[in-house]
Amino acid sequence: MRIENGRISQVGTRAQIDALTESDDLIIDAGGGLVMPGFVDAHTHPVFAGNRAAEFEQRTQGVTYGEIAASGGGIRSTVRATRVADEEELTVASQRYVAWFHAGGTTTIEAKSGYGLTLDDELKLLRVIGRMQDVRTVPTFLGAHEIPDEYRGRASAYTALVMEEMLPAVARERLAEFCDVFAEPGVFSIEDSRRILSAARSLGFGLRMHADQLSDSGAAALAAELNAATADHLEHTSSQGIRALDAANVQPVLLPGSVYALGSSRYPKAREMIEAGLAIVLATDFNPGSSPTASMPMILSLACTQMQMTPAEAITAATINAAHSLGRAAEIGSLEPGKSADFVIYDARDYREIPYFFGAPLTQAVYLEGRLVWVAQGLAGLDDKSRRGADRTARR
Ligand SMILES: [Zn+2]
């Protein structure tokens, strides 16, 4: 592979690339290791204060996620902590998580707001996403993530706030490309979700949805009706819902990390969706409650062992399919001439080793636009070498 100005200019055999190499080119030797496109994680919630390790412990003792949420914990406890944190603190926290994404081979994240739930706090979270370094971010406004404490029992008043104040402000400041809604009975009804997403579409946002995570409420059908880019979760979606997504070209984003971390065994029906012809996306759903992992290799392992996807299907879902769901298939998601040089070197010989050796630290070096952004401990020497002339040539 040859890289010029952060872009892939040529892909070929070593002999073909050697023939193009000039004397001042920098050569990155992968040492026979596996080189793959950086993962595109198309569903993450990376900006929040604190964590919920205490709730995790409660859940090990049999308290359910729903019971914790009903008693004021869950998303609302993260909202309370995040509201009092300033932009600087949140930037430091989220940058720590960027290193975790890198360690799993991820170079692009779709990043949602949703732990502010006031106009000012949602804008604060979106600004933090804009400040994240060394990772490509695609920002999504998720003001409709939960009904905040001060609006309990007044979901339609909060829906009006999202539609009338938050969405126009986010659009005006160009802080997000997509709008997402947590559609679930008792949180945002199908009717409120339709109103919010329709308003977002008229302001130019692309649409994504948290759909049918806890029940089959018809959210997948709504995503189809609105021609959303994605419907995410889908643990409870019926065969009818799957057919609706297919007919409307809505991509399913499957999040097995949240099923696993909640101790459930109800994984979405990936095989049925693949057989229906849908271009499945896999993502981490990184968040402090239901899916505290930034590791795409862990997600690939779950996809293979719990959802009967092949390693090739899983990697496709976490790269090019995910890039397409974000409107960036021409830019990232595969190693082809013209695309950004976002790639990862692994201590592996075969792509199947990535989901197979689950939990193993196989990632060696991560490059974004041809620039080294992360390197495994013990390989720090790579850093100096690449700083000299970052983006000229890489070859296997
Ligand atoms: Zn989510």
Q: For the residues 119-139, what does the mean pLDDT come to?
A: 98
Domain boundaries, the chain: 39-325
At the top level of CATH, the class of 39-325 is alpha beta
Mean pLDDT for the chain?
Answer: 94
Overall residue count recorded for the chain in this entry:
396
319-355 burial: b if 16+ Cβ within 10 Å, else e: bbbbbbbbebbeebbebeeebbbbbbbbbbeebbbbb
Average pLDDT over residues 322-329: 98
Say yes or no to pLDDT of 223 above 80: yes
Q: What distance in angstroms lies between residue 379's CA and the mean position of ligand 1's atoms?
A: 34
CA distances, 384 to each of 103, 149, 295, 389 (Å): 19, 50, 27, 10
Q: How far is the CA of 120 from the centre of ligand 1 (A)?
A: 21
Q: How confident is the model at residue 52, as a pLDDT?
A: 95
Q: From ligand 1's centre to the CA of 292, what distance in Å?
A: 11
Question: With bands split at pLDDT 50, 70 and 90, how would you rate the model's confidence at 391?
Answer: very low
Ligand 1 centroid distance, CA of 309 (Å): 21
Residue 38 C-alpha to ligand 1 middle, in angstroms?
Answer: 21
Question: How many whole angstroms from 394 Cα to the centroid of ligand 1?
Answer: 36
In this model, does residue 384 exceed pLDDT 70? Answer: no
336 confidence band (pLDDT: 50, 70, 90): very high
Mean pLDDT of all residues in 219-233: 97
Amino acid found at 333: G
Ligand 1 centre distance from Cα of residue 239 (Å):
22
71-97: per-residue pLDDT in tens? 889 999 999 999 999 999 999 999 999
What mean pLDDT do residues 102-131 have?
98
Angle at 275 between CA 271 and CA 276, to 5 degrees: 115
pLDDT of residue 107: 98
d(CA 299, ligand 1 centre) in Å: 14
- Which pLDDT belongs to residue 382? 57
> pTM here?
0.94
- Is pLDDT at 99 greater than 70 in this prediction? yes
CA 103 to chain centre: 15
Residue 14 near residue 394, CB atoms below 8 Å = no
The contacts of residue 119 (CB under 8 Å, 6+ apart) are: 161, 165, 166, 169
Q: Is the pLDDT of residue 385 over 80?
A: no
Give the distance (Å) from ligand 1 centre to CA of residue 87: 22
Task: Compute the distance between CA of residue 304 and CA of residue 89 in angstroms, rounded to an integer.
Answer: 37
Distance of CA 215 from the midpoint of ligand 1 (Å): 15
Distance 136 CA to ligand 1 centre (A): 19
pLDDT in tens, 18-45: 999 998 999 999 999 999 999 999 999 9
CA of 24 to the centre of ligand 1 (A): 46
Cα 285 to ligand 1 centroid, rounded to whole Å: 5
User: What is the Å distance from ligand 1's center to 255 Cα?
Assistant: 8
User: Does residue 389 surpass a pLDDT of 90?
Assistant: no
- Which contiguous run of DSSP H or E holds residue 103? helix 87-103
pLDDT at 254 exceeding the cut of 90:
yes
Task: Kindly write down the DSSP assignment for every residue of 10-63, as one continuous string.
Answer: E---HHHHHTT--TT--EEE-TT-EEEEPEEEEEE----SS--HHHHHHHHTT-
Q: What is the pLDDT of residues 272-318, one digit of tens each?
A: 999 999 999 999 999 999 999 999 999 999 999 999 999 999 999 99
Q: How far is the CA of 62 from the centre of ligand 1 (A)?
A: 23
| Residue 392: band (very low, low, confident or very high) from pLDDT cuts 50, 70, 90 | very low
Least confident residue range of 87-96, 150-159, 371-380: 371-380
> First and final CA of the chain: distance in angstroms?
7
